[in-house]
């Protein structure tokens, strides 16, 4: 498997919890930035970049830039006939015409940033989209015939009750999505949220909400295949699996990360510098690291443990297996492997630290 990630760093406003490389004051750079993306892609293709099995366009807000220009960047990437091509979408921006342009470029999956169906929770997250536009966006997805899509949710915002969260999940399910991602709100350094301890999420509250999500989503037929992801059979995100299985991928755009056989590198962070370096024909790589094989191995185990693939039972010491009773269970198809239970998924990070050295 080989994947490609395109980073679109432009946003209309910055969410309070966001620590990604995004900007709200650089919209005058969008044309030059998308031109630079195509130049960087062309250079990689000429250097022998593999054909992509998956492409993911994220941000930022990809739907803010001219759809024809974004489509041209996507088309520039050589890909397999059955490749998965995903674009992240702000529900306010989605129209039938926008999606038709994406589909013509080969896009076959979108991920819609819903976060919450509650107005006061969206406000607490610093989100500005209209929750009522989510249904309209899903209607547009079905109108153009996209084969699959994802609804992206976040739980744990200040002021969000369990009832608020339950109603969000139920409202999302009313739209009959084939895939739902539900992430616990995290506090990232340097964000407005980090400066407000009174708005920080509570671990016990988030655990309760995770259980609500898992109960409702699995009850609707969406199986949990990674701690924060549920899908109907055949609608899992192949691009995410590529990360979880430590496959190789190439990132294009400012701050985009790449991985090749244990070597990871990332591009310069700002769009201004990225455009300048591309225009001058210079490398946009900011820094790199090469993982020690042992470190890469344990990292791989920690990642795959989060998925329904699970890991070999022998990855845990016998005494650890006893301590984890109720949090791990035999893999349903392979008795030599174990998977996380719902209780285990709540403690996934702690359990991954108990893997045998």
Domain membership of residue 287 (yes or no) is no
- Residues in Cβ contact with 132 at an 8 Å cutoff, skipping those fewer than 6 apart: none
Are 50 and 192 found together in one domain? yes
Report the distance separating Cα 126 and Cα 80, nearest Å: 38
Helix (H) or strand (E) holding 118: none
Last-in-domain residue among 181, 215, 243: 243
Are 299 and 211 found together in one domain? no
Are 69 and 209 found together in one domain? yes
Last-in-domain residue among 180, 208, 243: 243
Are 215 and 150 found together in one domain? yes
Are 200 and 306 found together in one domain? no
Domain membership of residue 97 (yes or no) is yes
pLDDT of residue 356: 66
Are 91 and 192 found together in one domain? yes
Residue 184 has phi, psi (to 5 degrees) of -75, 130
Domain membership of residue 341 (yes or no) is yes
3-class state of residue 93 by DSSP: helix
pLDDT of residue 18: 84
Confidence bin at 191 (pLDDT 50/70/90): confident
Is residue 40 within 8 A of residue 254, CB to CB? The reply is no
Are 191 and 330 found together in one domain? no
pLDDT of residue 32: 98
Report the distance separating Cα 162 and Cα 167, nearest Å: 9
Domain membership of residue 272 (yes or no) is no
Side-by-side strand order, sheet with 311-312: 311-312, 334-340, 328-331
Are 236 and 298 found together in one domain? no
Side-by-side strand order, sheet with 263-267: 223-226, 229-231, 179-184, 148-155, 109-115, 79-89, 52-59, 2-8, 248-252, 257-260, 263-267, 285-290
- Transcribe 218-273 into DSSP letters: HHTTPEEEETTEEE-TT-S-HHHHHHHTT-EEEEESTT-EEEETTEEEEE-S-HHH
Tokens of 243: 């990360």
pLDDT tens for 63-96 read 999 999 999 999 999 999 999 999 999 999 999 9
Query: What is the arithmetic mean of pLDDT over 328-356?
Result: 93
Counts for the chain of helices (H) and strands (E), in that order: 13, 15
Name the residue range of residue 218's domain: 2-243
Are 92 and 33 found together in one domain? yes
pLDDT of residue 192: 83
Q: In percent, how much of the chain has pLDDT > 90?
A: 89
Domain membership of residue 89 (yes or no) is yes
3-class state of residue 11 by DSSP: coil
Domain membership of residue 248 (yes or no) is no
What mean pLDDT value characterizes the chain? 95
pLDDT tens for 109-139 read 999 999 999 999 999 988 888 889 999 999 9
Are 20 and 119 found together in one domain? yes
Residue 188 has phi, psi (to 5 degrees) of -105, 135
Tokens of 120: 């006061």
List C-alpha distances in Å: 22 to 32, 97, 122: 16, 26, 19
Tokens of 169: 């999940």
pLDDT of residue 42: 98
pLDDT tens for 156-189 read 999 999 999 999 999 999 999 999 999 999 988 8
Query: What is the arithmetic mean of pLDDT over 254-282?
Result: 97
Are 140 and 219 found together in one domain? yes
Domain membership of residue 286 (yes or no) is no
Report the distance separating Cα 239 and Cα 155, nearest Å: 23
Listed as own residue / partner, the contacts of 263-268 with beta carbons closer than 8 Å and 24 or more positions apart are 263/288, 263/289, 263/290, 263/291, 264/288, 264/289, 264/290, 264/291, 265/289
pLDDT of residue 123: 92
pLDDT of residue 16: 82
Pairing of the two strands 285-290 and 263-267 = antiparallel
pLDDT at 4 over 90: yes
Domain membership of residue 268 (yes or no) is no
Q: Residue 114 belongs to a domain with what CATH number? A: 3.20.20.70
pLDDT tens for 214-265 read 999 999 999 999 999 999 999 999 999 999 999 999 999 999 999 999 999 9
Which comes out higher in pLDDT, residue 12 or 252? 252
Are 232 and 298 found together in one domain? no
List C-alpha distances in Å: 285 to 64, 251, 254, 291: 26, 11, 9, 17
pLDDT tens for 195-213 read 888 888 999 999 999 999 9
Q: What domain count does the chain have?
A: 2
């Amino acid at each position: 498997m080989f994947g490609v990630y395109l980073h679109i760093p432009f946003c209309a406003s910055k969410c309070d919890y966001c620590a990604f490389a995004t900007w709200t004051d650089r919209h005058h750079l969008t044309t030059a930035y998308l031109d630079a993306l195509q130049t960087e892609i062309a250079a990689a293709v000429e250097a022998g970049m593999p054909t992509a099995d998956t492409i993911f366009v994220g941000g930022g807000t990809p739907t803010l830039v001219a759809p024809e220009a974004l489509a041209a960047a996507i088309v520039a990437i050589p890909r397999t006939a059955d490749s998965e091509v995903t674009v992240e979408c702000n529900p306010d921006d989605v129209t039938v015409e926008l999606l038709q342009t994406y589909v013509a470029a080969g896009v076959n999956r979108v991920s819609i940033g819903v976060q919450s169906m509650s107005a006061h929770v969206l406000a607490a997250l610093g989100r500005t989209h209209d929750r009522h536009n989510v249904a309209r966006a899903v209607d547009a997805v079905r109108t153009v015939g996209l084969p699959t899509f994802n609804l992206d949710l976040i739980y744990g915002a200040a002021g969000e009750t369990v009832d608020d969260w339950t109603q969000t999940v139920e409202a999302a399910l009313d739209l009959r999505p084939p895939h739902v991602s539900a992430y616990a709100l995290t506090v990232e350094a340097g964000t407005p949220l980090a400066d407000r301890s009174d708005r920080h999420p509570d671990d016990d509250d988030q655990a309760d909400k995770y259980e609500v999500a898992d109960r409702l989503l699995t009850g609707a037929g969406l199986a949990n295949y990674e701690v924060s992801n549920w899908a109907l059979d055949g609608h899992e995100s192949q691009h995410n699996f590529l990360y979880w299985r430590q496959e190789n991928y190439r990132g294009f755009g400012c701050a985009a990360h790449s991985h090749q056989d244990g070597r990871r590198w990332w591009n310069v962070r700002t769009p201004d510098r990225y455009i300048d370096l591309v225009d001058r024909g210079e490398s946009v790589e900011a820094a790199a690291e090469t993982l020690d094989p042992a470190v890469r191995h344990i990292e791989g185990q920690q990642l795959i443990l989060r998925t329904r693939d699970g890991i070999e039972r022998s990855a845990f010491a016998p005494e650890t297996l006893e301590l984890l009773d109720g949090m791990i269970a035999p893999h349903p198809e392979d008795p030599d492997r174990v998977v996380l239970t719902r209780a285990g998924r709540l403690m996934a990070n702690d359990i991954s630290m108990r893997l045998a050295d």
